[in-house]
Structure 1
């Protein structure tokens, strides 16, 4: 990796750490603040239908409603991929989400509710990428296209975000299982809702590595064991076992040949 790529990855790593910290603080505050919880409940609406968009569509809409489209326009004035990425990240340091345009179109309450939907969906999409190497939006595409063992993907998605059960596509599957009295599927469903399915060992610390590998692929446009190893050392990421390089090669091989993992297999 060159110096620019390392700089970009460093800034993105910091953004991910800050995001996780803010998420923890939000839920801690919510637990201690009944008034804040009541206010949240009054504005909160299900974000499950957003998962039926493609991930690209979802991110494009999020950029527009958050007021960040001007940042992309300015960054795109640069020519090289790395310069565009650096320019965007530099602007992000001072960027605050703005609901002014959205409020003009929908009203303040609806704009707030809409933004909350996207924020919660984005949060769970990031968790899905870290745990399963793909977003929940992508999982819905796979389910829709009936890939191999597609019903297992339903449980993977629900285990990450139980709110996805209210997505109309997922709800149709659940309704069918109820009519069929399919106890096997309904048992898996109940386990997935409480995060106990798919089964299989999942090392929580590996989520950061998987997330950064996905980030590195977007930044550099390519992945190889040497560059991932370099990144892992730079950011003190971990991998399974004592042989870091072997674990990285194993993960990259699985990531390349298996775009989805199910049947309780770990993606680490």
Structure 2
């Protein structure tokens, strides 16, 4: 039975998809639970960054094929409604204003790979195995995996990975440009938490805007991106985060952005 385990490590919230018996396969209950956990972390001023991991030394094996097999008897609109649970979770990660970091041990396949790539940053072991596995079971990709992979792969390489369903390890994914930190087996979660901790004390509003800019940079024209950058910069210049950051720089001291994030006293 899948569940989401939550751990607080300083200013970092760790969310663990825990169902080792299925290698943390995805299902509708998990989509809702992870989305709710992200919302809770988003609303908590004590949380500066989020790490998403899998239990039992494996990130995620993708959709539960036993459940997917049952959809053959459903009407197309019912299948679509089921699929939207996954897509809503992917959207949740994108909309979360706080950095979300995937910590991948073991591997990620199918929608599990979509989930890892949906995160803002990715830490994985060299040995972890990845696959756009859908074609192996007669299915087509979902969860945005083709969009995410297309951001750093040529059309030819993307097509090969999707048509073949071949496995590739963390080292190859790193060479493709999708990995922020490559570690040895058993170190992904610790490294991801350390990376998250370096971001968690940053200026929350500015980082949310930076995340938005980075998400839209690939599909925007230069003029569109210049406009978005201008809008965000104008807002940022008038806020307490900028005042604190600039004064700290001029006074040669560390900026205290965490103080600005704290919930006001009731």
Same fold (TM over 0.5): no
Question: Of the two structures, which has the highest relative contact order with CA contacts closer than 8 Å and spacing of 6 or more?
Answer: 1
Bigger proportion of residues as helix: 1
Higher share in strand = 2
What TM-score results when the alignment is normalised by the length of structure 2?
A: 0.28
